[in-house]
Chain A
């Protein structure tokens, strides 16, 4: 059966498991490990600190990665924290990664919201809502 046909028979889509990366340090020993870590960093919805081989580091939000054939022609692109302009860092310059920023996609769930809602409702509260987090 083709993938398209199988997809057409789906009733409910299983949700995605959320990998806990916050606080993790990625010290790649091989090129493959570095590429794997950068894929995770690209998918991560928090800031990541990149430490270069020369010892300098930059923390920011990685929004893109361009994987080429070699580390020299591969690069990640990010918005450094507190700066308005994008920068690009070649894979070849990267020594390690730390998932230093809070994972903004973690820690909230529909179940938690429902539980909180019904608790508040039972306590007689009104205008119950989930509010976006403060930006400052």
Chain B
């Protein structure tokens, strides 16, 4: 199943209406964090390090609906923490569906099979399952053996029941591009609608402070992964954002494109940085010193960021900003193979896995055949 035409139409008409109204800054996706607690303790995550009394708190459904209405974005992503741990998550989802919002419920899927009866399949609801790669990579990334199997069981069950299911994958330094490509094959074979991926953000509170990708390495890694693309792979992302990750485009950050609302209020300036909170969406848009953020600003906290929450909205804006942007989108959609011999060679370069025991370096075997790529 592909992204429903109704969703595409909703997004296109929303963006065009914003442009026709002359709005230079508008939200595309609301990042709604209804809680911070999680049932995983992932190495690269800086989202859950709070005192217990904060972790026990939840946004009420009423607070969530108010935020959604204030913001007005056509899509709502529900990350966290783990949203399935929220005692009223079904009520929140139901209320958002009633408001005709396209929802991406971001989950590690550990509880998905247990909670799936709380939800009904809808074109407005997608489970966006956190899977960071093949089994070994994912389990290390989420610091849990068996995490991959549980997530995959959740994916299969949700697909079986007719839910829209996507995957979301965060990549760090040391990622093996060949393994990521094999992971894409696995995911598509499970019947997911599409995949999302992003480089990890260098959270200063994350346990792992050694494996955040810089921009130069990010572009090489994503080019190795996404060039020579297999036709079977579907991505639930802007094709121009994927080109940005591959180093084929330059975008400035649009942090207001995916604003974040959580227990503390409207987060300044974006989903990743916490530089204070506004009480209303209008206050966030009016009072944030946007010029202080983004790679171009020189802000060291933004230096390596190429994350979707800052740049995918930039890509979507570009798609509709001009006929050139529209033509580029059509081209990127129709001709998505990106043949690249150098990228193919990179797949066989030695990689030191981030989870190797100290001193152990993975060596590439000379006898290993290059990956076969579909025509």
Interface residues of chain A, those whose CB is within 8 Å of chain B, are 2-4, 6-13, 15-16, 18, 45-47, 61, 63-66, 77, 79, 81-82, 84, 86, 101-102, 104-105, 108-111, 113-114, 117-118, 126-133, 135-136
Contacts and interface: CB of A to CB of B under 8 A. Distances in A.
Most buried by A among B40, B53, B298: B53
B276 A9 contact: no
B48 A132 contact: yes
A110 to B, nearest CB: 4
B205 interface: yes
Interface in B147-192: 147, 173
A118 B50 contact: no
Given A7-B215, A16-B209, A136 B52 contact: yes
A3 B300 CA distance: 9
B215 A9 contact: yes
B53 A82 contact: yes
Most buried by B among A4, A47, A101: A4
A105 B49 contact: yes
B302 to A, nearest CB: 8
B210 A110 contact: yes
A113 B214 contact: no
B338 interface: no
B70 interface: no
Contacts of A13: 202, 212-214, 303-304
B204 interface: yes
A9 B220 CA distance: 11
B50 A108 contact: no
A2 B251 CA distance: 16
Which DSSP category, helix, strand, loop or mixed, fits chain B's interface? Answer: loop
A130 B48 CA distance: 14
A113 B202 contact: no
Contacts, number: 139
B202 A15 contact: yes
15 contacts: A3-B297, A3-B298, A6-B303, A12-B211, A15-B202, A16-B202, A16-B209, A63-B274, A77-B277, A82-B53, A102-B51, A109-B209, A113-B43, A130-B144, A135-B55
B208 interface: yes
Given A4-B296, A61-B53, A109-B207, A66 B276 contact: yes
A15 B276 contact: no
B51 A81 contact: yes
Contacts of A45: 49-51, 205
B249 to A, nearest CB: 13
A114 B356 CA distance: 8
Contacts of A10: 214-217, 303-304
Given A15-B210, A79-B54, A84-B57, 20 more contacts: A3-B297, A3-B298, A7-B303, A8-B215, A10-B214, A13-B213, A13-B304, A15-B208, A16-B202, A63-B277, A64-B264, A82-B53, A86-B264, A101-B51, A104-B50, A109-B209, A110-B208, A113-B143, A126-B145, A133-B52
B227 interface: no
Contacts of B302: 7
Contacts of B48: 132
B207 A12 contact: no
Contacts of B41: 108, 130-132
Contacts of B277: 63-64, 77
